[in-house]
Amino acid sequence: MSYLSDTDPEIFNLIEKERMRQINGLELIASENVVSKAVLEAVGSIMTNKYAEGYPGKRYYGGCEFHDMVENLARDRLCELFGAEHANVQAVSGSQANQAVYFAFMQHKDLMMSQDLSQGGHLSHGSPVNITGKWYSVSHYGVDSETETLDYAQIADQARKEKPKMIVCGASAYPRIIDFKAFKEIAEEVGAYCMADIAHIAGLVAGGAHPTSVGVVDITTTTTHKTLRGPRGGAIMCGEENAQAIDKSVFPGMQGGPLMHVIAGKAVCFHEALQPSFKEYAKQIVKNSKAMAEVLIEEGLDLVSGGTDNHLILLDLTNLSTNGDHLTGLEAETYLGEAGITVNKNTIPREKLSPFVTSGLRIGTPAVTSRGMKEDEMKQIGHWIARVLKDVCKNKNSKAEISEVKKEVEAFASKYTLYPEVS
């Protein structure tokens, strides 16, 4: 018997519907994953009852001795995992982690250089609709128009001209390896701080499937809920010389009492990522992404930059015609969702449509990899994606093919159980 079903059956039923959606479908959102039962248990624990404003040994309230131990474990494990000198695990999201770094080292209207949102960057990297774009001056760099990859010589030229206070690297929709060393060298040349946001690739970095930014750039931020497979939250890593500035910026600068139940979940996540099996998991994410990309290319679909080196694939839909107009990201997301395949619309280089419509589609493999799927399964999913998109281009009004794929997806997903002990 569930306490929640007795107390609030309306919320209980909605959670149950979401559970069934996850069980019966395929989650291919590149920024999402499936946490372990241990992480779920920690986040849903009694740690949520305590206000622990401050840091271990320097709290503003009594009764925090066990919360101090939990936070210290989380910090120590994160440092061990990435080889960092200092870690702050209190940031409640990746965006707030980024904001804390800016707040620590920049003044109002100081200039930052960062990757343009429409070409793979993130809102919190100075987008004009975000507080970072309103509070700081921003100069965006993009990808090369031909290769659709980062041109470091071009970025260096821009930095020499702009003389930014901070250079931000890291992306939310960039399917290739990022050269953090190149970014640090550019920043050193122009006297700028260098911050890497590895929110998307943190699990790949921890598992040795992507080069690290920690110990290379000045400050590294991350989320804990993407490829790292932990609870929703953020974290910051830096050298000892920047530790005090970062900690003061997070608290009291940016936020109040930390979410200690989430920090407990982060500690569990870091422990799991320190196990040898996590390296195999990280490598499998990339193998799966490459396997799916190969199938999509074979099916005649266009991939931004022609492929992937990491956990995500960015589809360019502009060659998929529907009555004279190309299929939009919004349409593709909707149709695939009806087939039980969850993806998200995304801008692409040279984007001409609104961010609410887009010409691209972002696909990621972390969550399905967590469910135990490998290359053969990715190939099957790739064929389903192509089948749906090609069919709707022929006839948007027909849902027969979508219905058939949905049945096949549900039968397929049932073989990869999700929290079978939860009923």
Just list the catalytic residues.
Answer: 51, 53, 197, 223, 226, 232
Contact 104, 91 (CB under 8 A): no
Question: Any binding-site annotation on 320?
Answer: no
Beta carbons within 8 Å of 120's beta carbon, 6+ residues apart: 143, 171, 172, 173, 174, 314, 349
Residue 137: C-alpha distances to residues 66, 105, 106, 111, 152 (Å)? 42, 14, 10, 5, 21
Bond prior to 211 in cis (omega within 30° of 0): no
Residue 127: C-alpha distances to residues 117, 340, 359, 375 (Å)? 7, 32, 19, 36
Question: Any binding-site annotation on 105?
Answer: no
Neighbouring CB atoms inside 10 A of 141's CB total 23
* Radius of gyration of the chain, Cα coordinates, nearest whole angstrom: 22
Query: Helix, strand, or coil here: 363?
Result: strand
Structure token pair of residue 130 = 């975000």
Q: Which residues of 238-269 are buried (b: 16+ CB within 10 A; e: fewer)?
A: beeebbebbbebbbeebbeebbbbbbbbbbbb
Structure token pair of residue 330 = 């919004």
Question: Any binding-site annotation on 122?
Answer: yes
Question: Any binding-site annotation on 240?
Answer: yes
Question: What is the distance between the terminal CA atoms of the chain, rounded to a whole angstrom?
Answer: 10
Question: Any binding-site annotation on 117?
Answer: yes
292 burial via Cβ count (<10 Å: 0-12, 13-18, 19+): buried
CA distance 413 to 403: 15
Nearest alpha carbon to residue 91 among 102, 105, 83, 80 = 102
Contact 35, 230 (CB under 8 A): yes
Q: What is the dihedral of CA 334, 335, 337, 343, to 10 degrees?
A: -70
Structure token pair of residue 187 = 């920043």
Question: Any binding-site annotation on 355?
Answer: yes
Binding residues: 117, 121-123, 240, 354-356
Binding residues for (6S)-5,6,7,8-tetrahydrofolate: 117, 121-123, 240, 354-356
